[in-house]
Structure 1
Amino acid sequence: MTHVFAALSPTTIVAALESVGMAPAGEPFALNSYENRVLLFRDDDRCGWVAKFYRPERWSTAVIQEEHDYLLELAAAGVGVAAPLRLAGGQTLHHFGGFDFALFSQQPGQAPELEEPAHLFALGEVLGHLHGVADRRAFVHRPTLELASGAARASDEVLASGWLNADQRRAYERVAGHLVEKLEGYATPPADMIRCHGDCHLGNILGRDEVFTLVDFDDCLMAPAMQDIWMLLSINDPASWQARLSEIREGYEEHREFPGDELSLIEPLRSYRLMRYSAWLVARWQDPAFPAAFPWLAESGYVDSHIRELEQQRMWLDSSRWLG
């Protein structure tokens, strides 16, 4: 089956960039991105730019434009984000050869070190600033995080994928069903949702000298604020967790009250992400980028390992390890 990016050849990429007045000095270099195609290039002045070609038929134009408008709003408020470039006429979203694409200036720097208190404070500060702007209004077109129904859809996708044998299918159905049932008790009222980054892991945070920039808002959505915080707290040692939380909270409260009442959502949010991640991998397996990037998915032990991971997560959901 021909994958959706088969038509995005190097020639098409360069032609798309030239169509908006960009002249790459050399062939664009592909960055690690799988849902979309993201490329780095330099112009004749040696300035670095990133071109993002969106996966066709995933998001509507209105959904992508709302992402761009949100980024421009955040940037105007001084939040550290990589906002899309406005070209002549004010457009940020462009179209060429059946693809939607956008341009961003290259963001220098490295991922933060979560063992560094100053980095944790700075991360809390940028997230507090982000959320302080985010809760001024709601998204109209972007998705809303729905833990139980989203996890149920993920379970259905994994079960329909053909990756599980009979024994694995029974085990997966059992543990996934339990997790979905538990997640039904964690519905967040719409009034408590804000516009979140949505995928705030270390790969989407770049910086230097304790100043960090959030990149890749492709999954931004309405969600509880903890959706952008919990992945920075993934550590099993209670004392270290409390110390990390303290630094993040202190930075966050430079701009906004920390959502301490949402700490109980950490394990539900982790459960949701674990289930969605596997569903995403099997759903995208026909894209050649995925077997190359995730070869372990095709190994015989992956499904068993994932089921064990979900079983462990079921135990964490039944306890309150983050609140002890």
Structure 2
Amino acid sequence: MTKSPDQAFANLSPDEVLNSIEQFGLRCDGRMLALNSYENRVYRVGLDDGSSKVAKFYRPARWTDEAILEEHAFTQTLAELEIPVVAPIVVDGHTLLKTDKFRIALFENRGGRAPDLEDFDQLEQMGRFMGRIHRVSQTSNFEHRPTLDIDSFGHQPRAFILDNNFVPPELVEAYASLTEQLLKEAAQCYTRAGDTTLIRCHGDCHPSNILWTDNGPHIVDFDDARMAPAVQDLWMFLAGDRPDRTAGLDAVLTGYTEFCDFDARELHLIEALRTLRLIHYYGWLAKRWDDPAFKMAFPWFNTQRSWEDHILSLREQAALLHEEPLSWFG
């Protein structure tokens, strides 16, 4: 019996990984390491010549071919401009490779460490890095990829969680009422920001997707690339208490504005975007909970304690939504 794409993806074996890659003319030496990715399946694979590549096996039905190719074209454009991103490898004229079961992209294996968010020199350098990327981002829009908005990152994951009874019964009212209020307040943040511009963003620019080397940063995993306000690619670099975040913001934007203008009205969106990320994260885990890989990677999820902790985090976030936005005097 032929497996469905979802079944084949869920049961992807080491032999299938290596055999799939060898269909494109690469000879594997048997070395393989699963990397820290859950939405897709990502592996570092050794080749006969002693080198290694990173192979991404795309989750079925998450993105259309057009959306994947749009992301690939964006990162290739950045790489051609010598902006340090990890773009997909072209094999026989294609970046999206297909077997009878899988869609695959291959990447050069790049190393590095997470940036130090307490090092203002690094923050300024990351600002310059993102400013170079966003200068290119502004030249055109995504046509096949979504927009980060309150509906897709807030209302939809909230509804999925509630409709599928993930929250323990005694916590449902607290979760439902709190998230409803948070989304109203997030909408008010958007209103205060006004008509800000949406650009092509990395979309998931947390420190783990920035690899720091002696030559500076390079960025990986544009899989969540989408239209968003520019600050979406900046706010996750800010850590610590309010004075620390303010100083970090100044460092990031000092570098950023060397290459790209920044609309200070978007500072109203930082806590709204953080709120949406919190809600979306639990919705993402809930939506993928039937995938055995998620139960192995996130065994704490969907327990009484995890929902209590999540609600506590959301309450803490509610307080931040009421604060004045961070100041920047650039």
Deviations 1:196-247 (A, max 9, x none): 00000011110211511110000000000000000111321x3322221222
Partner in structure 1 of residue 279 of structure 2: 275
Q: Does 1:69 align with 2:88?
A: no
Q: Is 1:54–1:100's contact at 8 Å kept on the other side of the alignment?
A: yes
Query: 1:273, 1:48 → 2: CA distance?
Result: 33
Give 3-state SS (helix, strand or coil) of 2:30's partner: coil
Do the aligned partners of 1:86 and 1:92 also contact (CA within 8 Å) in 2?
Answer: yes
1:134 to 123, 133, 137: 137
Answering whether residue 48 of structure 2 is matched by residue 53 of structure 1, we say no
Write the mapping of 1:234-249 to structure 2, written as runs, cut at 5 A: 234-236=239-241, 238-249=242-253
CA contact (8 A) 1:75 1:81 kept: yes
Runs of at least 5 residues in structure 2 that lack an aligned partner in the other structure:
none
> What secondary structure sits across from 1:42 in the alignment?
strand
What's the Cα RMSD here? 1.9
Q: Distance in 2 between matches of 1:31 and 1:172?
A: 33
Alpha-carbon shift at residue 48 of structure 1 (Å): 2.2
Q: 1:145 offset after TM fit, Å? A: 1.2
**Pick aligned residue for 2:199 from 172, 194, 197:** 194
Question: In the alignment, is the contact (CA less than 8 A) between 1:3 and 1:286 conserved in 2?
Answer: no
Equivalent in 301, 307, 322 of residue 318 of structure 1: 322
- Per-residue CA deviation, residues 252-279 of structure 1 (Å, 9 max, x unaligned), is 1221123322111100000000000000
Give per-residue Cα distances to partners, 1:267-297, cap 9 Å, x unaligned.
0000000000000011111111112111111
Match of 1:121 among 101, 110, 124: 124
| TM-score, normalising length: structure 1 | 0.94
- Who is 1:21 aligned against? 25
Q: Distance in 2 between matches of 1:7 and 1:257?
A: 47
Q: Which moved more, 1:280-289 or 1:257-266?
A: 257-266
Question: Structure 1 runs of 4+ off > 4 angstroms?
Answer: 1-4, 187-191
SS of residue in 1 equivalent to 2:205: coil
Does the C-alpha gap of structure 1 residues 267 and 102 become closer, same or farther in structure 2, counting only changes over 3 Å? Answer: same
* Aligned match of 1:289: 293
The residue identity in structure 1 corresponding to 2:13 is S
Distance 1:149 1:87 in 2: 34
**Alignment pair present for 1:85 and 2:89:** yes
**Aligned in 2, Cα 1:3/1:276: closer, same or farther, shift over 3 Å?**
farther
Letter in 1 for 2:179: A
Report the alpha carbon displacement of residue 67 of structure 1 after superposing the two structures with TM.
0.6
| Distance (Å, rounded) in 1 between the aligned partners of 2:267 and 2:7 | 40
Name stretches of at least 5 consecutive residues in structure 1 with no aligned partner: none
Would the alpha carbon gap of residues 149 and 13 (structure 1) be closer, same or farther in structure 2, given more than 3 Å must change?
closer
The residue that corresponds to 1:165 in the other structure is 168
1:303 maps to 2:307: yes
Deviations 1:65-104 (A, max 9, x none): 101011101111121110000112x200011132111000
Alignment of 1:171-210 (within 5 A): 171-185=174-188, 186=190, 192-210=197-215
Which amino acid counterpart does residue 270 of structure 1 have in structure 2?
R
Indicate which of 222, 228, 234 corresponds to 1:223.
228
CA deviation profile, 1:144-181 (whole Å, cap 9, x unmatched): 11124530111101112322222211111100111122
Contact 1:74 1:133 in 2 (8 A): yes
Deviation at 1:143, TM superposition (A): 0.5
- Match 2:153 to one of 143, 146, 150: 150
Contact 2:153-2:277 within 8 A present in 1 as well: no
Moved more, 134-143 or 116-125: 116-125
Equivalenced residue count is: 322
Number of the residue aligned with 1:101: 104
1:252 aligns with 2:256: yes
How has the CA–CA distance of structure 1 residues 136 and 73 changed in structure 2, closer, same or farther, with 3 Å as cutoff? same
Shift of 1:323: 4.1
